Amino acid sequence: MFDIEKQEKNQVNIESNSLSSIEIVETGTTVSKWQDFKDSFKRIEMDELDPSLTDAERVAIATARVPLKRHLKARHVQMIAIGGAIGTGLFVGSGASLRTAGPAGLLIGYGISSSFILCMICALGEMAVEFPVSGGFTTYTTRFVDDSFGFAANFNYALQWLVILPLEIVSASITVNYWGTPKKYRDGFVALFWLVIVSINLFGVKGYGEAEFFFSSCKVLLIIGFIICGICLVCGARGPYVGGKYWHHPYGAFVGDTAGARFKGTMSVFTSAAFAFGGSEMVGLAAAETDNPRKAIPKATKQVFWRLMIFYMVSLTLVGLLVSHKDPRLIGSSSADAAASPFVIALVSHGIKGLPSLFNVVICIAVLSVGNSSVYACSRTLAAFSEQGYAMKWMNLEYIDRAGRPIVGIIITSIFGLLGFVAASNKEGEVFNWLYALFGLSSLFTWGGICLCHIRFRRALSAQNRSTAELSFISPMGVIGSYYGFILILCVLIAEFWVGAWPNGYKEMSSSAIATNFFETYLSLPVLLIAYIGRKIYKKNWKLFIPSDQVDIDTGRREVDLVALKEQIALEKEEMANKNFVIRAYHFWC
């Protein structure tokens, strides 16, 4: 088996080898900064793995010893958790959901989505603390579920972020149109935003962390400001009392004249909610590059609860109270159109001036944030994809340079981002509709896979006569939460299939229009199934799951002395038990 102490020693050596800027050459002069910069792109050489290892052991060891830098601090991880998923899905996409489902349908759809997101992120936090390995949850699927499932999950997640990058770059270029920028300059802004996103990621994980800290801070401050302003407006601070008039006649809390139409309208919210919550799982992916995951990850996962409740549910409740779902301005021209944002409409409708431009600036920041995350997530996923033996060796996807950057993955993701230049094409809408279709339900598949990994992990612990007492962090939702999240996501996927195949008004639609609607909603499922079944056929492995007693639950743990770890956890629990109720409650939820 792999020597964990050797793994830690290798990491120390890697860190020291990267400090070439202070190395002294034989002549006694310091290496130039330019030479240091060039040398930083050289590959870190790792010891060859024992050829006698099984495939499962090789994958576990390769992903555990990956030479990524641990430069993310607690403040980075916590801000990524709080504001990382706040973007155009909330600021603009929620307007389409309000129009198709009504204020009650909007809250029901986002509320149900919030519940399984919370269960998923807590399960992910438990595993990420124990196994802060390359690829995070995409690696867990191979380790805890099955090789073919892992291949499909990795492929799905990498494709998801590859598609998002050009989408977000074009969205960012569209935001400047709000100030009257001519469309002929759009290519220039595409190039500018592409250059900014790629440059941030060339600074390594520290650059990503600092950028996300800034981006997320801006988004969080704007949402808090809107909530305070929205409460004042509902109470009549700028005119007559508003209250819940948009929930009653002649507007209505739901859209549709029949129960079936109202149900379909509510179900349609899940696709936009999945887009809005996309990126919630980034905390788990960042664990491998976190300085102290045992301290930072639990706090970050718990703070997701407050993000869901305050930044999503409270703000969307206020939007439903301030904007009618029949408002024609909700029909925007793009996902980055600030004029179609229900937040902007709420403020403009009640006489608040100046804020629309501020919202447009933050929408631009939000799409840059998502684009930044897409390069980070996709490059790490591609590296883990190769480390698990899924990619061809000549591609060198696992190439990690001396600065800890998966440079080949960054290059591939960045090149794919150049698709953003199709913004100047007459086929722009058609191209991006199908790119979005590839992404559509990918997040739901990812979240369902995380819940399944947690179920399998707990099952492996039980089968090997191990208990949760040895875990540094236990999900507050428990394994029951993962079962709830997994089953609920399956139900949502079934409902989305129904809505895609038989949308509202399908009797008046042509067969080609229905087919287009279905595949624009559900295209990501055939892609996932092809990857899964194709891998099964290639490997000729027809087992559904890895036997629980054969699952590796030790390799890759950052905390290697289980006896000392158990004693430390017991001491921390004893100290917390002696605190008063308020402190214990705060520690549990925050």
At 504 the three-state DSSP class reads: coil
Q: What mean pLDDT is predicted for residues 271-291?
A: 79
* 8-17, 134-143, 279-288, 464-473: range with lowest mean pLDDT: 8-17
d(CA 320, CA 98): 7
d(CA 381, CA 134): 8
Q: Is the pLDDT assigned to residue 12 strictly greater than 70?
A: no
Q: Which residue has the tokens 């005119």?
A: 239
**In terms of pLDDT, which residue wins out, 104 or 341?**
104
Distances in Å between the Cα of 65 and the Cα atoms of 73, 117, 408, 553 are 20, 29, 18, 15
What's the burial of 83, exposed, middle or buried (CB within 10 Å: 0-12/13-18/19+)?
Answer: buried
Q: Is the pLDDT assigned to residue 216 strictly greater than 60?
A: yes
pLDDT at 367: 80
Confidence of residue 272 (pLDDT cuts 50, 70, 90): confident
Supply φ then ψ for residue 312, to 5 degrees.
-100, -65
pLDDT in tens, 70-110: 778 878 777 777 766 677 778 877 888 898 899 999 999 99
How many beta carbons lie within 10 A of that of residue 578, not counting itself?
8
Q: What mean pLDDT is predicted for residues 289-317?
A: 80
Confidence of residue 331 (pLDDT cuts 50, 70, 90): low
**What does the domain layout of the chain look like in residue ranges?**
75-146+207-352+428-500+517-559, 564-590
pTM: 0.86
Confidence of residue 561 (pLDDT cuts 50, 70, 90): low
pLDDT at 137: 81
Tell me the β-bridge partners of 43.
401
Confidence of residue 578 (pLDDT cuts 50, 70, 90): confident
Q: What mean pLDDT is predicted for residues 19-30?
A: 43
d(CA 360, CA 179): 9
Confidence of residue 321 (pLDDT cuts 50, 70, 90): very high
